Chains A and B, each alone.
Chain A
Amino acid sequence: MNAFRRGKILLVLATISIALVAVVFAFQASLIPASRLMNPDALVKILQSSNTEKPLIIQVGSHVLYTEAHIPTSEYIGPASREIGLLQLRKRVEPLPRNKSIVLYCGCCPWNHCPNVKPADDALQAMGFTNVKVLYIANNFGADWVDKKYPVAKGD
C-alpha cells in the first residue's frame, strides 16, 4: 500500500472518528446504564417514605439553578463537567462506605445534553461506589420536577 493510499484511508478514518466523538459527546448521559437510572417519581416516594433509609442526594450542576430550586436535603457540589466540581464530589464522598446509597442529579439541560451527570457517575464508579443512581431528568429540573409539584427547597 503506498503512502498516498494510506493517507486517504487515515483521513477517512479521522473524519469518521470526529463524527463518532461528536455523537458520543452530544449523547454522553445516554451512556449511563439504564440499571443506574432512577425516575423522579421513584425518588419522591423514597423522600416521602418514613421507613426507608434516605440516600445522599447530590446536585452536580449550576449553583444559580440550585439556589432557585432544588430537591430538599440535596447538597450542592458543583458542575461535574469541570475539574473543580469533580474534586468537590470526590472530597464529599471519600469518607463514605462504598455501599452508601447516593443519588446524583443535574437537570440543567435536556438529558442527552447534560454535561454533568456522566462525569459524576464515572467518578463514583471509579471510586468503587456500588449503590449509585442517577436521576433521569428528561427535559430539565423545572419541567420534570418543579412543574410536577414534587417537593422543592430554595436558597443555599
Chain B
Amino acid sequence: MSARNLLIGVAAVAVAFGISSLEHHLRSNYVHPAPVQRALAPDFSLPDLTGQRLDLASYRGKVVLLDFWATWCDPCREEIPRFVDLQAKYGSQGLQIIGVSMDDEPEPVRDFYPRYKMNYPVVMGNAKIGELYGGVLGLPISFLIERDGHIYAKHIGATDVSVFEKEIVNLLQSKVTPAQPSS
C-alpha cells in the first residue's frame, strides 16, 4: 500500500474518532464545590457482581472514584479502560475506583466485566442510590471522594482522563482527616 493510501485511511479514522471524542468533551460538565460546601458522600451497601455486599464506608481512608455507568452507554464504555489504567497505576497509593452499574439486570455487566478486564469492584445500582446522590438521570456521572469521605468533585458526562488523574494525584497526597459527624 502506498503511503498516500495509508494516510487517507488513517486520516479518515482519526477524523471519525476525533469528532466523536470532541463531542464527548464538549458535553462533559464539571462541578467542583468549594471546600466549605463539600458534603459527605452518602453511604450505601449494595451487592457486587458476585452477590457480596459492598459498603462505601469500608473504603474510608482511600480516595474513591465512584462511577455511575451502564453497559449500554457509549461514553461510559469509553471511560472504562481509562479507569482500569488509573486503578492499576494508583491503587497501591490509595485509589479505589468503584463502579455503580445502572443497568437493569446484572447479566450484561457480568459479561462486560471480564471483556474490559475491569480491575475494580462494580455494584448494581438502583433508583434509591441515584436519588441519594442527587439524581443520576444521565450517564456517566462520577464522584471523586476524598480520604475523609467528602465529595471533592462531580463530573457529569464523559470527562478527559487527565482531569481525573490530576485530581486523584492531588487527593492522594492529602492526609486523612476524620470526618465530623453530620448534625
Residues of A within 8 A of B (CB): 8-9, 11-12, 15-16, 18-20, 22-23, 26-27, 62-65, 67-69, 79, 81-82, 107-110, 112-113, 115-116, 139-143, 145-146, 154
Known contacts being A15-B12, A23-B19, A68-B137, is A63 close to B2, with CB within 8 Å? Answer: no
A23 to chain B, nearest CB (A): 5
Extra pairs beyond A64-B127, A110-B157, A142-B136 (20, CB < 8 Å): A9-B5, A11-B9, A12-B1, A15-B10, A65-B127, A69-B137, A79-B72, A108-B70, A108-B72, A108-B139, A109-B75, A109-B139, A110-B23, A113-B74, A139-B27, A139-B29, A140-B137, A142-B135, A143-B138, A145-B137
**Size bracket, chain B contacts:** 35 or more
Q: A64 contacts B16, CB within 8 Å?
A: no
Known contacts being A12-B8, A19-B13, A62-B104, is A68 close to B130, with CB within 8 Å? Answer: yes
In whole angstroms, what is the CA distance A145 to B135 when docked?
12
In whole angstroms, what is the CA distance A56 to B171 when docked?
49
Q: A62 contacts B17, CB within 8 Å?
A: no
User: Can you show 5 pairs from A to B with CB atoms below 8 A apart?
Assistant: A16-B8, A19-B15, A64-B126, A65-B137, A79-B104
B12 to chain A, nearest CB (A): 4
Q: A64 contacts B102, CB within 8 Å?
A: yes
B179 is an interface residue with CB less than 8 A from chain A: no
Q: A68 contacts B27, CB within 8 Å?
A: no
Q: B103 contacts A20, CB within 8 Å?
A: no
Q: Give which listed residue, B5, B9, B27, contacts A110 with CB less than 8 A.
A: B27
For B156, the chain A residues whose CB sits under 8 A away are 140, 143
Q: A139 contacts B157, CB within 8 Å?
A: yes
For B17, the chain A residues whose CB sits under 8 A away are 19, 22
